[in-house]
């Protein structure tokens, strides 16, 4: 098993995402950040925007726009795709959520309001998504691009792999396979 840094319990610590933690704390913290930042920016966290963020905050997972739309529709917010897309666009524009291009999905940000260049760690076993600090990775990318005269407009760095729990499951499964029948 790889060495895993002990999670600090801080929602900003990417380690906690892959461990049992007080997720209500993550969700409350992210929601109150979004409320404060919306106020400061003179924007309205309307009921549909707020509900969309709450849905994304239920887990550290990425949800597709149609999954969000189904939930909103079931709660009476409207059935038309723009209902979900407009709310998701607002959350992404304001940094309250990120778009995970690899999954064509969205995940709530637990650092909104802080400048950060995340690297997304996506578990292909359970679809958990964590944000790891990526300033160095982004810096290296900008440097490499500059060397060839390329101006980066957008860079989404996403790594797909297995979280500690899914690695443990996989280890158990392969141990089963080697057991003689
Ligand atoms: Zn959490
Ligand atoms: Zn973020
Ligand atoms: Zn996993």
CA of 32 to the centre of ligand 1 (A): 14
Express each pLDDT in 85-112 by its tens digit.
999 999 999 999 999 998 999 999 988 9
Give whichever of 47-61, 106-120, 159-173 has the largest mean pLDDT: 47-61
Any idea which ligand is nearest the CA of 110? Answer: 2
Express each pLDDT in 16-35 by its tens digit.
898 889 999 999 999 999 99
Domains of the chain: 14-178 (1.10.10.10)
CA of 147 to the centre of ligand 3 (A): 37
Any idea which ligand is nearest the CA of 16? Answer: 1
Question: Which residues in 24-156 belong to E strands, given as ranges?
Answer: 97-100, 105-108, 118-123, 129-133
Any idea which ligand is nearest the CA of 169? Answer: 3
Contact 6, 118 (CB under 8 A): no
Nearest to 83 by CA among 53, 52, 45: 52
The pTM (predicted TM-score) of the whole model is 0.85
SS3 category, 106:
strand
């Amino acid at each position: 098993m790889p060495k895993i840094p002990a999670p600090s319990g801080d929602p900003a610590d990417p380690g906690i995402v892959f461990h049992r933690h007080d997720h209500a704390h993550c969700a409350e913290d992210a929601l109150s950040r979004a409320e404060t930042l919306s106020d400061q920016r003179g924007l309205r966290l309307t009921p549909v925007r707020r509900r969309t963020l709450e849905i994304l905050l239920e887990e550290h997972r990425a949800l597709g726009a149609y999954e969000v739309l189904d939930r909103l529709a079931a709660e009476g917010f409207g059935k038309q795709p723009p209902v979900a897309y407009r709310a998701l666009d607002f959350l992404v524009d304001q940094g309250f959520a990120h778009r995970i291009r690899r999954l064509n999905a969205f995940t709530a940000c637990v650092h909104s309001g802080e400048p950060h260049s995340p690297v997304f760690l996506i578990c292909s076993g359970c679809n958990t998504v964590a944000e790891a600090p990526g300033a160095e990775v982004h810096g290296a990318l900008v440097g490499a691009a500059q060397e060839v005269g390329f101006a980066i407009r957008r860079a989404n760095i996403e790594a797909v792999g297995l979280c500690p729990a899914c690695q443990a499951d996989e280890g158990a499964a392969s141990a089963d396979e080697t057991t003689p029948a």
